[in-house]
Structure 1
Amino acid sequence: MFKVEAVSECNAIVYFGDQIDLSLTPKISRFVAYLDSLSHPALIEVIPSYTSVLIQYRPDLLTYEQLVGVLTSFSATLEQTGEATGDESAHSDYEPKLISLPVYYGAEVGPDLAVLAQAKGLSVDEVIERHSQQVYTVCAIGFAPGFAFLASVDESIAAPRHTEPRKWVPAGSVGIASQQTAVYPNDSPGGWQIIGNCPQILFQPDNSPMTPFQVGDQVTFTPISKDAFLAQGGQIWSQWK
C-alpha cells in the first residue's frame, strides 16, 4: 500500500498501511531518509508515524502534482526491490542503530510497577525481565520533542493508559501504553503506566542531533541498581499522585 493524499494546500500525507505493522517501519525510515537527502527547499517538515508520513511543503516552490511525482517515483523503487533498493539516490548516510538505555525499575520512580505486576499476575521481577529483554523499534517520534514511540511490548505486560493522566511526569520516566513503551524526555503531563526511570538525557535542543532516536532504530533497556541510577544523574521523585 502506498497512497498520497492532500491534507491542506501545504500538507500531504503518505500512507504505507492502515494498521500498525512493524514491517512498515524500515520502509518508512528509508522514505524519510530519502526525502531528507533531497534537501529540497520546498520540503519544510517530514513527520513519520506508525503507518504514514506527513509532509509539510511550500506549494509556491513545488506543486502538489510535482510532490506526488517525487513521492511515487521512490515508491516504485521500493515496490520493485522490497526490503532494499538499488537506487543509490534513495539512500542517505544514516543507518539504523541499536540504542541501549539504563533503567532503574523501582517503586520510587515507577509508581505503577507493583500495580501492573499484580494486575497481570506476575511478580515485579517478572515484569522487569519481560520489559527489559525485549528489543524495541522506534516507530514514531512525537507527542513531545524526543519522545520515541517504541514497539512492541510483550503482550503479558501490555497495559492501557490511565483514564486520568498525571499532571506531571518527571523526565526519564519509562512508561507502557498498550503495546507501546517510551521514555519521557522532559517533565510533562502523561497518562502512561510508569514502571521505572532512565537517567540518560534524551533531548538536548542545543545539540545536533537533538535526540538519539530516529525512526527505524532499535532500543533495549538495561536494568540498573538505585546506586547506579543516582550515580548517573538520576533523581528520585516521591510525590507521585
Structure 2
Amino acid sequence: MVILPLYQVVFAVQEQKFSKTRFFALMHDGQIREMGMPDLRYPSYCASNGKICGVFYDDQKGFIALSDLKITESPLPELVFTLSKHQIAYPVVSPDRQKIAFIEYGEDETSPVLRLILREEFGWFPVQLKINAAFSPVCWGGKDALIYTGRNNELMMISASPSKRGTAKIDTNAKLPAYHQQSGRLAFVKDDNIILKGKDNLSFEADSPDMLNFSNDGESLYFTAFKNGNYSLCRFSIEKREATRLCESDARIVWAAEI
C-alpha cells in the first residue's frame, strides 16, 4: 500500500537579510505548517537520495550539508564540505549522488565561481573545476551535465566529466535553471518570462519570477512570483497551460519541492 504524504509541497522562506531559512509544508487542506528543519540556506532537493542539500552555518563557517525532511524535530544535518577562505552558495547533488556542485564566492558575493566536489571512499573532495559564474542557482542537466549562469548572464551547460570539459550556450539573459531528469524538460527565466524546453517549447509571463522547480512527475512547474510586496508560490500545469497560486508570504520564498 502506498501512503501519500499529508502535504502538497514543502517550501522554504528566507527571512530578511538572509538571517535564517524556515521550512513549511502546504497541507492538502490548504493549511501551512512549519517544519522542524535545520537552518539550511540555499536549499535544493535530490530526489534520488531523498535529502535536502543546503549551506549550514556553524560558528559563522558555511558547510555544505545534507538533511532528511523532518516535521516535528530539528536534527543536526550531515556536514560534508567547507572552504577555508571563501563562502558557499547554491549546492546541488547530482542524480547519481556522487557529486555536488556549488557556487564559491568572496565577501559581498564577489568573484563567484562554479565548483564541484566528488564523493570518495573517505569523504568529499574538490575536483579541478573552477568556472566564472554569476551568483545564481545552478542545476544538474543529467548525470554529468551542469547548467549555470555565467557572469555575462548567459545560461550555459558544461560537462562535469574530466574528459568532456566543453561548454555550450543555452540562451542569453537567462537564469534560474531547473531540469527534470526523467522527462528531459528544462525551465529557466528570461526577463519576466519562464521558458520551458524539451518535450514542450513554450513560455509564459510571471511577476518577477524568483524560483523554479519541477514536480516529481515533471508535469508541473513550481515558481515564485513577486507583486505588491508579497511573494506567491505558484504551480504551472504544463498540460493545461495554466498557473495556480498556492500560498503567499511576506518573506522571500526561495525553494519548493514535492518530497
Identify the TM-score tier after normalising by the shorter chain: under 0.3
Higher helix share: 1
Higher strand share: 2
Q: TM-score, normalised by structure 2?
A: 0.26
Greater RCO, 1 or 2 (C-alpha within 8 Å, sep 6+): 1
Larger radius of gyration: 1
